[in-house]
Amino acid sequence: MNKPSQYLRLALLQLKRFRNREENLEVVTRKIEAVMEDQKPRLICLSENFTRSSGFHRDPENVRDGYCFQRLPELARKHEVYIVGGTIPEKGQNDEVYGACTVWDPKGRLVAKYRKVHLADLYVKAGFTYLESARFTAGNEFSIFEVDGHKIGLGVCHDLRFEEMARGYRNAGCEMLIYPSDFADYTGFKYMELLQRSRANDNQLYVVTCAPAFDPTAKHFSFGHSMVVDPWARVQVCAGEDETTVVTDIDFSLVKKVREELPIFGQRRLDLYPKAKEMS
């Protein structure tokens, strides 16, 4: 059995979006070619809803033969790279639509699929209302994949708010969590960094978000600020709001170091925590 590699070069593609999926896939293709030539990452991440600038639930596809789902394995195979494919609207067996994140390995094989579990239904007093449950169906399973011996858990955007989910991935041995995201500028400004650093601090692992770039001409104003937070809960790298490609090196030995220096998981009082339910 090969020894896990300590380092992983990660690229986050923070892109502006067009109205149709064909234009967006052409941009993704060019950006992947450019970053592979210049930086040669091992893993590339795309954002939530990267195929459309609005109407995110429209034109759902089957993973088996959908246009976008098929382009991603072609790119992974061509460039011999892992691709976390943001989210694409996936058509279910009974015409339900899921926000599906797929992961493709350097041979173009599907190694993970995650359907967004927590749907964002938001009622903001400033007048912002967004009901994701009116357009999408929630998934019911978590998903983990491995890169060079390291376990990585998947979530999508609103999932970042739920510590129990991140804790489940930590218990399963994950050293990194990746959340393709599309925070609105209003909520992103208030919470995105706080949530990401909280999940990293709670579970002593890397937390990654990849978001679309801010576009003042779009109907949905994305916050941008794709980010990597390390196991000390420090922001390792953060994009601004503009279109950019973020490349950074992940040092997985830091996960082990933090967990050894602060062994909080061995200090938990699992005998007491169930009693909190009795006090509610």
Per annotation, catalytic residue among 157, 174, 175, 241 = 157
CA distance 180 to 208: 8
Q: Which of these, 139, 154, 44, 145, lies nearest to 98 by C-alpha position?
A: 139
Show the tokens assigned to 41. Answer: 């990452």
Determine whether 116 is an active site residue. Answer: yes
Q: What angle do CA 50, 56, 60 make, to 5 degrees?
A: 95
Q: Are the C-beta atoms of 85 and 104 separated by less than 8 Å?
A: yes
Per annotation, catalytic residue among 101, 113, 116, 174 = 116
CA separation, residue 130 to residues 50, 137, 146, 223 (Å) = 18, 15, 34, 15
Q: Which of these, 204, 173, 213, 194, lies nearest to 27 by C-alpha position?
A: 213
Per annotation, catalytic residue among 31, 45, 48, 90 = 48
Q: Which long-range contacts (CB under 8 A, 24 or more apart) does 127-131 make?
A: 128/184, 128/186, 130/184
Q: Which residues are designated catalytic?
A: 48, 116, 157
